[in-house]
Amino acid sequence: MLSHTNKGTSLPRSPLLSNHSQLQRGMDLTFNVFSKFLATFMLLGYLTACGGGSATANTQTPAPPTPLSVASALFAEKALSASGQLACASCHTDDNAHADATGTTLPIGGVNMDQQGFRSSPSLLYLASNTAFRFDANGLPFGGFTWDGRANSRAEQTAGPLLDSTEMANADVAAVARKVRGLSYFNDFVSQFNVPAAATDQQIFEKLQTALQAYQELDTDYLLFNSKFDKVADGTATFTAAEQRGLAIFNNPNQGNCASCHTSRNGPNGERPVFTNFSYAALGLPRNPLIQKNADPTFFDMGLCGPKRTDLSARTDLCGQFKVPTLRNIELTAPYFHNASVSTLNDAVGFYATRDIDPGRWYPTVNGTVQKFNDLPVAYRNNVLNTTPFGQQAGAAPLLSAQNVADLVSFLKTLTDDRTAPQGSPTVVAR
């Protein structure tokens, strides 16, 4: 069984934003970024001179830039892609906890916006307490960014999408630097991120990486900690009976056992849990026929052992393992799992309940045989996790009943943040 580690959250305190305009929800992204930017100034009181507060951009006195305003503009900047149509925010949308936009099955990118990726875009929230990739004292993999942990920081990770031919598809660092230099707010970028005079392409690229990480640290949406779950922890809300039952199943090591990977306990100093311990596991998910690459029967996305990650290709014992994602805001981030093979939250939880007792529900049947774990080569199928809540014989009585699944889903929906409300404390508020 994977160990249950509690990690402290190192919360970067946002100096500027403490609440969110009601207007933001559902607004066009550009305006959204702008309104956040504006909210910043309203808080700082800069607009008092203009008699202001109107959200309709009377820019007689342009608001001075801040690291957050510049970095969030860069995150939403389509001009940083070869197609001119794809920003970080296109795949990591504000309204969906910075995961794929509603209705998206798999992200599309490339120079001509016709290249399909083979992994689902994860939520970018609650990653502040994640670390670089490592093997712990027991030799178990932990940490790192992306589904296979191959980037050691959020800054390092940005090189992936900026240069990946199926994503923002820039030819090289020079191409990215050229686009950055061409931005109307390039001078603001220079001033807010201390870009050296006569910076080289490489320096521009690295400062862009710094800025994109800074955005994920400064925007309070990334660590809101104001879900119902958090309020219950603070004693200012109470669970319904179904939510309470769901939490008990989630934590019970002999039933859901979910918390053994999706940490639900506070840290030693009252740090709120982020519902992942950043460990890895092979769940044996069904192959997703909507992934174009899967038309090739010899192609397999095996996570830690490749093909995206290349340094662990000899570790065939790790084939099929992917990083445990946070379950905070899980209600908003369909489709689910690294290969987007499951469309609804009910089914994502249902997979844990019935993968082994009713495999025909999840895998295709060929010549009368259910193709269990068909998204891994046969040689690696025994890497798949068989411990609780898995491991029962086909046809056995369920460890998680349909009612248990419904209760778990009710509980998971308490993990949704309120983007219209102020940020909560990263530690539980003592009563």
Give contact residues for ligand HEC (rule: CB under 6 A): 2, 86, 88, 90-92, 107, 109, 117, 119, 121-122, 124, 127, 145-148, 154, 157-158, 161-162, 167-168, 212, 256-258, 260-262, 281, 283, 285, 308, 322, 324-325, 327, 330, 333, 336-338, 348-349, 352, 385, 389, 408
CB atoms within 10 A of CB 254: 8
**Least spacing, CB of residue 49 vs ligand HEC, in Å:** 35
- Find out whether 303 and 337 touch, Cβ atoms under 8 Å: no
Pairwise CA distance, residues 188 & 209, whole Å:
16
Backbone angles phi, psi at 391, to 5 degrees: 100, 10
**Least spacing, CB of residue 60 vs ligand HEC, in Å:** 33
**Least spacing, CB of residue 124 vs ligand HEC, in Å:** 5
Q: Which is nearer to ligand HEC, 104 or 234 (CB)?
A: 104
Q: Which is nearer to ligand HEC, 47 or 372 (CB)?
A: 372
Residue 157 DSSP code: H
Helices 67-75 and 201-218 cross at an angle (nearest 10°) of: 100
First CA to last CA distance, the chain: 35
**Least spacing, CB of residue 91 vs ligand HEC, in Å:** 3
- Find out whether 17 and 39 touch, Cβ atoms under 8 Å: yes
Helix (H, G, I), strand (E, B) or coil at 231: helix
Residues with Cβ within 8 Å of 329's Cβ and at least 6 positions away in sequence, in order, are 97, 123, 125, 227, 415, 416, 417
Q: Which is nearer to ligand HEC, 164 or 188 (CB)?
A: 164
Q: Which is nearer to ligand HEC, 35 or 264 (CB)?
A: 264
Q: Which is nearer to ligand HEC, 121 or 234 (CB)?
A: 121
- Find out whether 239 and 247 touch, Cβ atoms under 8 Å: yes
Q: Which is nearer to ligand HEC, 141 or 234 (CB)?
A: 141
**Least spacing, CB of residue 11 vs ligand HEC, in Å:** 17
Residues with Cβ within 8 Å of 416's Cβ and at least 6 positions away in sequence, in order, are 227, 228, 328, 329, 330, 331, 332
Q: Which is nearer to ligand HEC, 246 or 267 (CB)?
A: 246
> Can you say whether the dihedral through the CA atoms of 105, 109, 113, 117 is positive or negative?
negative
**Least spacing, CB of residue 431 vs ligand HEC, in Å:** 28
- Find out whether 199 and 126 touch, Cβ atoms under 8 Å: no
**Least spacing, CB of residue 123 vs ligand HEC, in Å:** 6
Q: Which is nearer to ligand HEC, 63 or 223 (CB)?
A: 223
Residue with tokens 């090591």: 253
**Least spacing, CB of residue 384 vs ligand HEC, in Å:** 10
**Least spacing, CB of residue 350 vs ligand HEC, in Å:** 10
Q: Which is nearer to ligand HEC, 234 or 347 (CB)?
A: 347
From residue 327, alpha-carbon distances to 195, 220, 241, 334 in Å are 37, 18, 20, 12
